[in-house]
Structure 1
Amino acid sequence: MTADWAKWAGRICAVVVAAIIFTIDCIVDFDVSISILYIGTLVAVGVRGSDNEIIRTAAVCATLSCISWYIVHRDAPDIASSLRLGFALVAIGVTAALLVSRKHLAAARRELEESRGELQNFTDSVPQLLWRFSVDKVDFFNRRYTELTGHDREEAIAKQNWIEWYHPEDRTAFAEKMEHSLLTGEDLRATFRMLHADGSYRWMSLVGRPIISKDGTIEKWYGGTSDVHEEVTARQALERLQRELEESQAELINFMDSIPQILWRATPEAYVDFYNRRYSEVIGRNADETIERQDWLEDFHPDDRGPYLEKVRSSFAAGEELNAKIRLMQASGDYRWTSLIGRPYRDKSGKLVRYYGATTDIHDEVTAREELQRTRAALEESQAEVEFFANSVPYILWRSNGAGEVQFFNKRWTDITGMAREDALKDQRYLETVHPDDLPGLTVAIVTAIETNGVSDAEVRVRQADGTYRWMRLYDGPVGLTADGEIQRFGGATDIQQVVDIRRQLQELNETLEQRVVERTADLIKTEARYAGLFDVSNMTFAEMDFKATEPLLDELRKRGVTDLRAYFSEHPDEFAQTLSLIRTTRVNEALAHLMGYESVAELVANPPAQNADDGPAVLLRQLEMYYNGINHIDGRTVLVGKGGIEIPVYYTVNRLAEGLHLSSHMNLTEQERIAEMREAAQEELARANRIATVGAFSASIAHELNQPIASMLMDAQTGLRYLQRGEPDLEAAERILQRLTRTVQRVSNIVQNTRDAIQSGRRETARIDLREMVEETAELMERELRRSEVSFGMRGMEAPPLVTGDPVQLQQVLINLMTNATEAMREVDGHRSITVTIVALDDEIAVTVEDSGPGIPEENLERLFQPFFTTKAEGVGMGLQICRTAIEGMGGLLTARNLEKGGAAFTFTLPTAVTAEAA
């Protein structure tokens, strides 16, 4: 603000002075020139004004001088006044020039000071170390010296010890170069290592140039030192890379000549200009001669030349990869299949420069692929046959991947569970059919089997198509890998409801037996001496066997790494027979001897142990596994073979004692099996009476007949897989296993076909049935029974329902059974008793519901209502509802039961209409 005020004050003063001088000069005529006083105006402007302002002011003052002279002397101009005016104008111009020069000089002085300061800042800020060398010493370092070395530059100049910071190995060479430059006047250039402030040595580049005077002497040296550590290390690395590149190029040539493929290079015009040495080795021709004549096409099979040239033209024209499969002539004159691949190479601009390619012998792969195609065709045929077989067996079969995801169910799945296979596989909904209480255990078994790549064996309850649950055994295990290397697992489900029922009964018997044993153990211990002969005189059957001689053999097998004893003995039957021959029966009691029809204990002991049961070797193998796997107890069912071939079914338990002794006890199941046979006879009689049990009998028959061959197939498949998974696959043994598996599959196929023929030959003729007429006829048949039980009968629903197709006798038997059950359920009911039959249409089905006003069905019995032999009646046999359900299912329908909200029970069965059944 002060500078601007002074500037404007000078301008105002100049204007005032100029005005005063102009006024005086216009009115007074002196002998001297008043105009020279305008110099004061210039001085006033020049104090703060710029060059242009001074020049403009001088021009204004000169103009005013001329105007005032004209005003005063226009009437009588003379030479003197003109000269005075000229002198004044010259003075004004000279003054203005001096003022402008003065300003220029001041500005130049300021610029010089600024340049000096800027030069100092520049030398201190540049990243290089700058220095100046006089004739005999360094007299200047910039600030970079201190930053790099950590030493004071003034001290270094004073002591001239700067060379001490150079690497000891570089000092002598630097001194020699410096001396040479001082003598010759040439530029000083040196590269050396200098110690930095952090204690490390870094490569530095020094350049110095002399300043030579007119007489040719060197006045000073100016130079700079730059950090070139990265450049030097990079140059050293580059040199190493160059050496490595040369070695790599030599190795590349050796590599190209040693690889088993023919390598080639061609121009975009398909001119081949390079072959590696492999060309001559394979083809038997000189590569240089082939390149010179360009007759490489003669190496190809005549039938492949035309298609190959067409591919070359199209690929090279489009700049695309060349890929061809050709037959190439060998040095022996034979042709072999080869794969030829050529890939384009482009420069940075995208221009196609070269084609580089290789020719690989794939003759073995091509012939193997042809063989594979033939094998695949045979495999597809085999798979179709296997799928037919899978859908024919009466068991649920499935396939899953290594993660446990089921990918396939056979048709039997839908037949048993009522759930479509597609729905079961979607989101793995098949688990919904497993009883909720059994699902956690099944999940753990599956996860454990997947993690260990082992088998899962679980017994769970599975919901059937009729809504009931039946016990089934689910077995699943790995059998190999797919072509993609994924683990495949196969499994099956077997109905074991009867086995579970029998096992439950046996468990109850065992619990009773164990309870008795516990109660008597204390007494037996106290009176051990008194009852030492209990083994011999007891009514319970006992046998003591000595396995001591087998234990060394089993220990040796364990040392040899055998993990699966059963599989090993299956592969080595001779060793198994030898092992069995070492087992001895040491003692049996008289009860067992009498049970098996022997007059003396010695007669029974003399028999080889394996001959005392129809599956004696299998039972003895289980006992061998007790010792091998560290198990102390086993049990099971077998049939003892007594004197004269008599067979006694027993439930046996075996306990492993000390010193290689095994003590077995037996429970005679003859009476239980006789009762079971009587029960089966009753079932068969009821089945024949209702024409239903034929299918059940055949199902049981085929299940029994297929059980052994399917188990054999599983064992053969696992054994064959182990042969193939060895370090050196035993193909001969695997072939024998596959031949035996083929015979077993044929046997299963024959069983299925024979059973199908038997079922078809015993099928009852069907007819069209009017359900309303059938119900009315049944009500007339039961009129007396209904009247005696004081039960009223009524019908509701359609007057003329669509006809259905089925067996009239079976259908009437179902209605009689349901109405009889309803009548018996209401015998203890006071008040009104009624049976109502309702007929309604449901899409393509007809639903018939039999309702009663009785007490209903206990909730705990709803799930077991349709199980065979389940009954709530003291005099009942538990077959009626099961037969009814089987009959309805045989006609394509479904029978269910429920309780009514208002009280009573309702049984509903559905049947497809005749039109629907015939269309299907």
Structure 2
Amino acid sequence: MNDASHAQTQRTSHIDSVDRHDFEQFLVSALHAAGADRGVVVTVADGGVVVVASVAEDELSSVPVPAAHKELKESIILEVLGSGQGRVISGAPRSIICVPVPFPDRPKAAVYLEIEGESVSSKRLENLEWLASTFAASLAKTNIDKELRVVREEAARVERELRLNLDMIPALSWVGGPSGELEEASRQWLDYTGISRDDALGMGFLASFHPDDVQKVIAAWSVLLLEGKPGGVEARILRHDGEARYFMLRAVPLIGGDGKVRKWYGINTDIDDLKRAEFELAKSQAVMAEAQRIIETGSWSWDMVSDVFTCSAECTNIVGLPSNEITFETLMERVHPDDREMVAEAHGRALEGEELNVEHRFVLPDGTVKFIHARGRLIYDKSHPRAYIGTIVDVTEARRSEERIRSSLVEAQRAEASLAEAQKLSHVGSFHIQPSKAASMWSAETYNIFRLDPAEPLTREAVMARLHPDDRERIGRDFEKALNERLPWEAEFRLLMPDGSVKHVHCVTRVEADLEQEPEVFGAIIDLTDRVNSDEALRKAQADLVRMNRLTAMGAVTVSIAHEMNQPLMAIVTNAATCLSWLDREDPDLNEAKDAAERIVREGKRAGDVLLNVRNMARNSRPSIAIVNINEVVGDVLTMMRSELRSRQIGASVSLSPTVAPVRGDKVQLQQVLLNLMLNAAEAMVGTELRRAINVTTVDLGSHLAVRVEDNGHGLDPIASERIFEAFFSTKAEGTGMGLAISRSIIEAHGGTLSARPLASGGTVFEFTVPYTRGKHEPETETA
């Protein structure tokens, strides 16, 4: 190909897409409309004018050629193409008319006509311009229709491929409408969620989300619909089996030519593993950050070129200096004087290439001493040292912990020795049993309790042989049951020693193990022999204590008892003398003597009753449970207290309920309680200026009776009132503190209560109750 043809080809390549047939038809119409005998359609290519189509004497040609070959006035064509305005040039022998063809999306073009021997009117120019404009518009529409048809065909093809690709994408993909409704979902989406296509369309897809995330998805989806921009949100999607996993929901809009959203394309990517990894990473980072804070590690660096020393925030916190004051010199000044030489030597070796690794003491500005572990090394630039970097760690607490551990080890050894001694002193042994391994570990005291040799192998047979024959089967059975059921167990049993003596022990065990693991038994055994042997002595001592309290109370009314005995004795003497005087008469008056003798008998019986009460109160006898009339108990105690009350100038009043029924109890013990309460009441009124009075009342309360002793003394001390029933507590300097404690124990042994309360008018009321063992109206009967 020569240069001319190559240039021609280059200049016409831009009109290859134009339909030449349309150009030719237009040119013929223009030629006829203008009455021309020759015409061409021209365009510009690479700065030159090229003929696209031509007609002469009804012969069409659509072979593009340069305008020069057609002998056209190229200057006129370029002027019309440049200005966009048609031109007419009239002359002889030929006139020329040239108008632009206004293609909206094509290169500039013009129609060029030659008319033989006549001038051209403006009307003809206007017609040609209209024809050119109509042709340009028609050609543009034809091209647009073609393009639209191609676009529609391409869109249909793309939609078919998209629907196919939805099922090919290895993810949960979907297509949504402009309003956010679901229009299509991939097979993977339907299979994963277990929701049918019909149920998912529209807004039914919301059922695939975890209930706690639905509102979040709706809110995020609403924002995307409003803004019409790509976006996404993280949410949990429920799998068909109910498992919820995190997904990243990503949606991208398809925007139409009018700027509105036509569709939404989305894909849901499973990020559950990523979320879990993020959670673990965040947790690890938090742990690491906390660990760095806890271990108190700081970093430092010295740029040896610029001589700049930098220190991290934790480093400044450790050394207690602001960062702008920290230099190598200031840090060395804070090193403990005893460690300074060692630290300087360590840094010197590090600057010669060794690694710094030194621990020393550091003195803070406030005088506090810390232990610091410093590490560091040189950083080289090529072969020259560039920087010196390192870390410091506050190991103060570690050093103190080491010291505490050493102290704790010593204390633990002491505690172990103390525990062994304590077990020996308290007769408490411990043991650990692993039944599956037939292994046992006993403390020294456990061996001592069983009287087994620690040097001998510890076997189950040896242990069982120590159990008393009468307890062996029961203890073996109960222990095995507790072990099998993993339950705590405790029991008391006897041990039969080789010398025939018997020990009483109490054993407590606890089983530690999961159901799948082998059990381990931890236990303790307590030697109760001394306690059991002392129980009887304790009971005897308690009985003696009660009797001592009784004798103490009796001692307080000894004078009154003597006075009470004096009255019937004096009456007996007087009546005896009277009787003798009546008998010594010449004529004895037997009737008067008889009356005197009868009075002697009455007074003697009265003295005998007083002595009987005193003897019963003083004797050391076991409780005697019998039918007791509480009103008689009150009368007996008042008889013993009569002279005591008279000597203290205390009035006594009694109100005995006639409906009070007898109760079962020990009459002497009930007398002791009432005597104690009346003595306390009498002593509570010492020093009072009011008329002193004690009121004793018996009350029937239905299911039980009550006895109240009321005084108008100083009343109860609020602090002492909480402790008056405690053993050995007394508000009197000469008191033993046992009277009220013993009285309460007696009443509680009868199934009743003993209490005290202050009176609003001053004074105190003590009240004890005793229940009826039967219904109120059922007679109490003594049992043999």
TM range (shorter): 0.3 to 0.5
TM-score by length of 2: 0.34
From the two aligned structures, give the one with the greater strand fraction.
2
Larger Rg belongs to? 2
TM-score by length of 1: 0.30
